[in-house]
Amino acid sequence: MADPVHWARYHWQRLISTENRAGSSSSNSSNKCYQSSKAIVKHRIVIPCLGHFKEEYEKVSKLYMNNRIRTTKYTWLNFLPRNLFEQFHRVANLYFLFLVVLNWVPLVEAFQKEITMLPLVGVLTIIAVKDGLEDYSKYKMDKQINNLLTKVYSRKEKKYVDECWKNVNVGDFIRLSRNEIIPADMVLLYSSDLDGICYIETAGLDGETNLKQRQVVRGYSEQVSEIDPEKFSSRIECESPNNDLSCFRGFVEHSNKDRVGLSKDNLLLRGCTVRNTEAVVGIVVYAGHETKAMLNNSGPHYKRSKLERKVNTDILWCVLLLILMCLTGAIGHGIWLSRYAEIPFFNIPEPDGKSIPPTLAGFNMFWTMIILLQVLIPISLYVSIEIVKLGQIYLIQNDIDFYHEKTDSTIQCRALNIAEDLGQIQYIFSDKTGTLTENKMVFRRCSIAGQEYCHEENAKRLESYQEMDSEDEDSADHQCDSSTPMSKWQGDNCRAVNEPLNRKSLNQLSGSYPALGGQGEPGEVPHSGHVAFSSPIETDVSPDTQLLGKFSQISSHFYQQSEEASSKVSLETMYITDFFLALAICNTVVVSVPNQPRQKMRHTSLGRMPIKSLEEIRQMFQRLSIRRLSSSPLPSVKESSSESPNSFVSKLSIFRMRLASPALDGAAQRAAEPHNTDSPENSQVPQEIDMTNVAAGCEHNSAASSVESSPLPKLCYEAESPDEAALVHAAKAYKCILRSRTPDQVTLDFAGLGSLTFQLLHILPFDSVRKRMSVVVRHPVSNRVVVYTKGADSVMMDLLRTASEDTNNSEMEQKKIKERTQKHLDDYARRGLRTLCIAKKVMSDEEYAEWLNHHFLAETSIDNREELLLESAIRLETNLTLLGATGIEDRLQEGVPDTIQALRKAGIKIWMLTGDKRETAVNIAYACKLLEPDDRIFILESQSRDACAMVMSKILEGIQKNTSDKKSPSQNPEDVSAGLSAQAPGFSAGLVIDGRTLEHVLHDSLQNIFLELTEKCRAVVCCRATPLQKSVLVRLVRNKLQAMTLAVGDGANDVSMIQVADAGVGISGQEGMQAVMASDFAVSQFRHLRKLLLVHGHWCYTRLNNMVLYYFYKNVAYVNLLFWYQFFCGFSGTSMTDYWILILFNLLFTSVPPIIYGVLDKDVSAEILMQLPQLYTLSQKSVAYLPSAFWITLLDAFYQSLICFFVPYFTYYGSDIDVFSFGNPINTAALFIMLFHLLIESKSVTWIHTAVTVGSILLYFIFTLAFGATCKTHNPPSNPYWIMEKHMADPVFYLVCLLTTCVALLPRYVLRVLQGSLFPPAVLRARHLDRLSPEARREAVKRWKDGSAVNCRVEFQATSGSSSSATGAVSQEESTARVSPTSKTPFQACPRDGLVAGTCSSPDIQEYRWLEL
């Protein structure tokens, strides 16, 4: 009985959590890591249900949920009331419920009570069955997951026993084996791995198949045997449950009050899979719906389409029309009764003999008319729209053009209700890396100590890869690179020949999370799919010849002579050494072996025999003793403050000094994440080297020679980002090979130095605020603490050592290196390369101890932990020594330039939002044709809000002054021949803005002028933009401009942008599935957007628009037949048609043809839509569903209803036929009119359309014949007996139906004929192209394009003639406002193959800066 209480508490906590998150949304952007997930201020205390904690556990455990999950909405008891409650949230259902209740009132009853209930009951039943089936499938899934088994420690049996997941509680100890799925969020307390590491696969959470490392809590990792829960005497205090997967704050408090900080590296999340570890033990901190995975599982997100909102508005107009018609009927009925008051036949008295006053009778008749004319509000429209959308989604998902063979994936439609919005997109916000580019990072150039190395051999290798067959590259995508050093030294033939893994489908994400497939066998190692960032084009790097020659100077002899080395050559060699050491270890790469998938690499001795020798056993115990010393708990703050810095640091690093000895090298290494190594800081650096370790280098060198002559196991580098993988592979090409990584140490093989083991002290991960990553290590040779940092040059250059007045030679040299490196960085950016700066810092033990004291306090805090860690990292990353820079190429995806060009011709404005530096972003924008060489580019950059406002106003004044007289005349929305010129009249401009300036323009006071400026520009490039700024920009354009927006991205940093946009598209790339899981549509390539929008978006919108208009026409026309009859029956609310036929006419006889029409109709073929993107503007501007189109449709419906009623009326005028005999030809003619009306409006008629139309007519006649033959008095006192049978034998009936149909449809048919002959719209002209022969079609399409280009050129020339004067005007005004345009080196638009400069003309770029005087 506790489950309802837990469920209520869970929803209450979620409610409070939502309110708190909303309240914190306006906080500073630096706090966004955790501000969105703050729930309740109170912390959570977790204690085990064992020992002396039993009483306290009983109190605390009642506050937390168990591990049972329930994703269903309903139970067997509440299904019916809750489902009905939810369905009656729809206004249409409430309206028809009101009519049903109203019809039960005798005074206003119009139909038989059961008949009125039929439509509503039918719709409610269909939706209830659908909801019930969906919920039942969730129930079965929940039951299967809840009953999975796991090992839970039992305090009664004193051992681990099998328990169902649903019985796991907070505070339980869980023991997991390899390949098991984690049942709840738990803190890792033990791992069978000697290094205290647990490897997990997070594909179940974010789709990433690369392994992630989790570490045992500091202080527990030294345990040789498994932790005993009975002896656990600590308590855990952590944050309240939240949905932030990237943050976890808390600490473990021991019985002696010592605290050890907890982070996300100590937390195993529910839904992940344990890999590479035989056994792990953890204590549960979050269970069930409080786990981070469940809090992120908010269910399918719902977005309302623009068309749906417009339909709701038009239904309100129909409601007003209905009220008007009912008022007319009520007034008419009152007048009728007043005129014939003395005739009892027309005014039947009540049983008491009194007559109803005409006024009251008119009031009652108003409600009777509401019931009679209820069909005017189309209840079946909502159901039909849902069916049509499902059909459209089915066609999109089965389009073979969206299939991508390399990834074995196709389009995913995750949102079923906004497909038509794809046809109205006005703005596209696109990420760059992985979205426009391949996200395959290739090492191209580097600069070390101010000297650039162009890697021409590598450029030649890339050219050869571009000429390779795609099938060869696809087969190599699954290969892991060889670790043999000699394979990288072959010049142009440097590509390693690797043994491929067993090939399986790339689409293995569901298989990597076998939550429903039972537990894996103990010896089974499932294949986890493709290792990201491991294609040959990324892994094979050809070394630079000049740089390779300098590597020959690196040897143990060099280190022996380094104390006296003060020459420039010696200093440069030291820089080269440290540069590549930093590339190899400053990352989080996991090392594994390919022949045993998901098995990490352990660095073992060569030639090891299966049976260990006594010496090996002795070394193993020696390693264990060292590990126990290395992983002992850190002293408390009080203790550390009382000791001297030297003694404090010595306690932390005794084992690190010992592990630098050769006796342990090659034997004590474990796989872990690579991190940075130390490099010389100045000319004094060689004096810092410990000469007592020179012998170690000699022995390493000899060991390295034996390595080269012996086969080594091949290595796979599993990186979390492609940049890290590219840098590690580049270091490997120069024989700086990452061998293994543990939480405590990193092992490398370096050419000439042998095996080096760096003790890893701290990792300061990358974040969007610092824009850099650092590692703190102890160098194995110098025994000094070294900080290695890599990051964006925009922040790294400010952190370098500044030269003082009495600068020495080394500091002057550093200044020169900085200047030369900055030039190289600018050149790399102009070439479209991604740039990174590499730097280092050497710390004394005293400095390190002082910093460590503050850092320890930050690690053990819960409140404001991120701010404290950020301050600690910033305090460490100062006075750096610049080592060099790297340039990494990320090639454009196939078809990106053509796609962007087509989308721009379609009238869509495209914004590129990227975190890269300005030069790189602009160059890529030119390469993908987002910016054209003829565009005038304005680079907006300012340091203050006032300056930003001044610059934007001056740019706007200059543009408006020179384009005010050149604007193109207003064009017909359907005239798309000049679609290009309509997009950007006058100035052809582009805007480039950086992240710092974005902070100013997003302020409320500058938003309007910023949007006005962007509307004048054909493209906008935002560089150095944070994820938060991306989402704010999308929301700003969507809300302020009331524009339809689409956001496309491939990474976790694009999720917020995708969710804010009207339509979100995720690219299923190499950086996991976060963007895909948050998106509405998922594609594998950016080029698929072209067909998705221009073809399917256009089709979905026009089909649904036309179907909705047809429904309004159909219902209004049919209801008017009843309305016209009221003028001849005294407005009595009676019908000339039987009520069953009246109700089923719209519900059954005329419902299927418009659904088929909405799913299959094609106004233009896909080929023509792809070739003529200008046609997209028709759907973009809602040409098919303008307000005028709605009212014209209603007028046509009134006209057709008049014809349909009065032609039979005058035909049978004066005859003695009964009411139903009069209504039957009207009803039959209405059926023919509505079906043939649909055929006239259909743009393509297939056999399916014909079959459905004929089937509807046959169904009508079969039903009416059967109904008339069997039901004599079905609805007393009416009698439809044998009505249709009599008319079928009467020739006048056929003549009436034929004449009525022709006269009613004649105006519409004539209008369509004249429109197609005299002034054909663009769609009709485009559809005509499909009837031409292929050659004639190509010529016609070419003439169409040439006509558009001529119109565009004429207007551009008319406006560009004054471009120079415009520039002068702008410059003159700038001078008065202290805004100066500075000429910049023209950027070159780079092609896909290598982004090589010099292939495009130079664009005109103006940079506007505020001069601070």
Cα torsion 468, 469, 470, 475: sign: negative
What is the Cβ-side half-sphere exposure of residue 400, based on CA atoms within 13 angstroms? 0
Cβ pair 776, 797 in contact under 8 A: no
Q: 1005-1033 burial string, b = 16+ CB within 10 Å, else e?
A: ebbebbeebbebbbbbbbbbbbbbbbbbb
Torsion of CA 1328, 1333, 1339, 1340, to 10 degrees: 0
Residue 635 has what DSSP assignment?
Answer: P
d(CA 508, CA 305): 33
Answer yes or no: are the C-beta atoms of 117 and 93 closer than 8 Å: no
The long-range contacts involving 1216-1222, CB below 8 angstroms and separated by at least 24 positions, are: 1219/1134, 1219/1136, 1219/1278, 1220/1136, 1220/1137, 1220/1138, 1220/1278, 1220/1279, 1220/1280, 1220/1283, 1221/1283, 1221/1286, 1221/1287, 1222/1136
Query: SS3 for 175?
Result: strand
Give CA–CA dist 727/446, Å, rounded. Answer: 11
Instruction: Report the run of H or E that residue 591 belongs to, with start and end.
Output: strand 590-593
Distances in whole angstroms, Cα of residue 898 to Cα of each of 761, 924, 990, 1074, 1090: 49, 14, 19, 27, 9
Which position has the token pair 């009803």? 1227
Closest C-alpha to 1033, from 202, 594, 427: 427
In 1254-1297, where do the E strands start and end? none
**Residue 1175 in contact with residue 1329, Cβ under 8 Å?**
no
d(CA 46, CA 60): 8
Are the C-beta atoms of residues 444 and 459 closer than 8 Å to each other? Answer: yes
Among 206, 265, 431, 481, the active-site one is 431
**Residue (of 372, 360, 333, 375) closest to 107 by Cα position:** 360
Question: What DSSP line would sit under 254-311, residue for residue?
Answer: -TTS-EEEE-GGGEEPTT-EEES-SEEEEEEEE-GGGSHHHHH---------HHHHHH
Q: Tokens for 414?
A: 């995750």
CA distance 346 to 368: 17
Q: How far does Cα 754 stand from its chain's mean position?
A: 45
Helix (H, G, I), strand (E, B) or coil at 541: coil
Tracing tokens 């020739």 back to the chain, one arrives at: 1291
Contacts of 659 (CB under 8 A, 6+ apart): 626, 668, 745, 757, 759, 780
| Max CA pair span of the chain | 130
Q: How many CB atoms lie within 10 A of CB 78?
A: 11
C-alpha to C-alpha distance for 1065 and 903, rounded to whole angstroms? 15
Distances (CA, A) of 157 to 51, 172, 1182: 14, 14, 71
Q: To which H or E segment does residue 726 belong? A: helix 722-733
Question: Residue 146 and residue 177: Cα distance in Å, rounded?
Answer: 19
Nearest to 591 by CA among 476, 753, 728: 728
Strand partners, 154: 159
- Which DSSP state fits 89? T
The verdict on whether 690 is a catalytic residue reads: no
Q: Enumerate the active-site residues.
A: 431
